[in-house]
Chain A
Amino acid sequence: MTFFNDVKKILQQNIREYGMYIALFVIMIIFTITTEGTFISSRNIVNLVNQTGYIAILAIGMTLVIIIRHIDLSVGFLAGFLGAIAAIAMADPKVVQAGMNLPVYIVIPLTLVLGIVAGLLTAFLVAQMKIPSFVASLAGWLIYRGAILVVTESTGTIIINDDAFNAIGNGFVPDIPGIGILPGIHKLTLILGIIAIVAMALSEFNDRRKKLTYNFEVLPTEIFILKVVFTSAIIGGITWVLSGYQGLSWTAVIVLVVTIIYNFIMSQTVLGRHIYAIGGNPDAAELSGISVKKLIYVVFGSMGMLSALSGILFASRLQSATTTAGTLFELDAIAAAYVGGVSAAGGVGKVVGSIIGALVMTSLTSGMNLMGIGISYQYMVRGAVLAAAVIFDVATRNTGK
């Protein structure tokens, strides 16, 4: 039975990588059973994805920061602060009265640029002034906390009444109009899902073909087919569940696009390789002609930009900017990254892993909410899961390749 032996061997070698997918799957099954199916309902899954959005975006940036052996504690309140800035620019009563309010298509890029500037400031302290990132970003945490209070002092909560802006956190991609078949199903989502499956399969086949022309080692044929079928089934399943409600939310689209871009950068480009190299051994990287300083600016700048995006998503979801926006986001993002297999020692971790980590953490919250478990126990369970994930990570560190 070479087939089963092969499967076993490949699972063993990649247990670290597959571990969190399996964990997410198990958690989903448990909640589906305990909530008698409510958990897996289209409506709940769509909600879950939207709730994960602003943490997932932060977790992507945090993955890079942790890979280069740093940390950024300021991102939560930075997100909250920039969300408030965006709200003021669009909808603060005084600004509106003065006729100074800006349209959404200017506000969003402007907020992202402000985020990059904030990130570069932290990077300046870390790279130039040689301040440990924990301290530099803790200073930022305090400053942005104060800054939120300053800008919302006079008005308190700022209500945003821009429909386009609010759609980011609450709206859905519209369906193709005028198709009669399959009523109640979001056709566009279904079509996108099918395109995704075909694209995935084609790129896998293409990659395998190229590897074979070089005479490199590839997966055995049966396992390769099994892998493609399995991945297709997962994409298909998610597509089906999502299209049963209102289809893809704009939040899901944003998270998907950011994930694809960052995953591509980290796995395929020179920049990504250099970031992993710095995390693996900064001295060796520097001697290999990589400017560690420059990449600290790049990584913290990207973190700032994603903080701004996260702030926009959150403000849009609440349709307002509040004085407490951003509280504990940074710790949720850090937890998601660790659950997703990012190593605290640096140099190891994947963007997709952190997204799965974020999904695991939100699934726990969502599932326990549906079960009516109190918030106090929810914190404890999430803490235990975080500890278990890191224990698993450490225990499997030396297996596989």
Chain B
Amino acid sequence: MRDVLVMGMGTSGLVAALRCQEAGLKVTLLAKGVGSTHLAPGTIDVLGYDPELVENPSEALPRFADRNPEHPYARIGADVVARSLEWFSERFDGYRYTGSVDENFLLPTAIGSIKPSTLVPETLAAGDLRKGGRLLFVGLRQLKDFYPALTAQNVANAKTPSGADISARAVQIEPPISGEADVTGLALARKFDDPGFLDAVATQISALVDGDEAVGLPAVLGLRRPREVWEGLQEALGRPVFEIPGLPPSVPGVRLHEILVAQFESAGGRVVVGAEAVGADTEGDRVTAVRVAAAARIKPFVARHFVLATGGFGSGAIEMTSSWKVRENVFDLPVMGVPADGQRFSPRYFDRQPMGRAGIRIDDSLHPLDGSGRRLYANLTVVGACIAGSEAWREKSGEGISLSSGYKAATTVIEEAM
């Protein structure tokens, strides 16, 4: 029997699985497919808007949790969020993360908007716009997902709290690529792993830089050895270089995924990809097994503890039928916060969307609750995007909730298992 079965391999599932495995528990990480890391920018955004721009998450979080008692952060706790960030930062050497819960970076996105992020890969940090600066955005002609002129123009017009001066311009280079039908960011990242390719790109950029400009490129600076690529380019150009995450496949997201999976497997964890949890066996307030659809058969996975990290509506973990029935697909947990007819959605895309807050209600140790606040299963914890009460895309809180809830679920499991 396994000690822990974690379902889902986005950030929350990976973090919960890794912490439990490293604490000496035997963990199986089960996933229907590869998780949301590949679609996310690879930054840890804890709290960006409340609803005004948040400059210091550690100051803002307690207030935010008080005002939003149904929010995941109210259950997780600001202190746990801070501890989870420290734990996360310490996991990386070589390709490192930088930042702290006491401040938000303001990083440019691919369309030149500004996004508050708390922990960011070191390779992104020099794009921080809080103190302004002179920036050169470099496009790679073959990459159709990044337009440096768009980025530069919007960044130059961006308003930061300090009002510091930002100047930005754009150039385009043509890296030496032959015979590629369609170049994705990932294909380019693999090319950057080759030192010869990096040299050729550095030579082209160095002819275009001016004064003390920092150089921004799409986040494609290497997949297997990003730190060497980034440092090599900074050295060759004699100035700060930063990456800008863009459309999927997200290279910083893939790096994050590969690093965490490798750490989990080398600690002895077991990964099963392609198999979907489709149901569960329970006895009273305990889950005894999760039923998993693998090739040819539904297999029961028996474990002592279970972590639900399957995601929300986006991943299909929570589904809504055409008759507005909402269902969580593994344990049939009650989905809370589903708004009444007429209040489900706002007509404007970027407004508050009440349906987005629907999810599983949890207690302070992340066990799922029913409508009357009663704990449903004592050996099941719920993490990540399936928790009710947040509007991650507005708050810029998704990865922060995932990381801190994954971290805290592991604490619960470890305490209960030991």
The judgment on whether A and B are partners is: no
Which A residues have a C-beta under 8 Å from some C-beta of B?
A: none
